[in-house]
Amino acid sequence: MLNKPAKEIDADFEVEAALAFHDDDAKATIATLLADVKYLRLQLALAEAAMSHGMTRGWTPSFERDV
């Protein structure tokens, strides 16, 4: 664990925390995360519709993340 990059350590911690929140039930954890993604995509769509083009200087939100 000492030789892992900080991002990997943070990701490991977040995965373990999400699983612990659901008593190590992977299906429940995935279901919650998928519901969160659905909710956040809706919020992003609402924000995009409410923002004026001038306010964001042409920037538009992306619904897909860069990997």
* Residue 32 confidence (pLDDT): 97
What is the value of pTM for the model shown? 0.67
Percent of the chain scoring above 70 in pLDDT: 81
Cα-based angle 45, 49, 52 (whole degrees, multiple of 5): 135
- Give buried/exposed letters for 6-42 (b at 16+ CB in 10 A, else e): eeeeeeeeeeeeeeeeeeeeeeebeeeeeeeeeeeee
* Residue 57 confidence (pLDDT): 72
If you average pLDDT over every residue of the chain, what do you get?
83
Look up residue 41 and give its two tokens. 């995509």
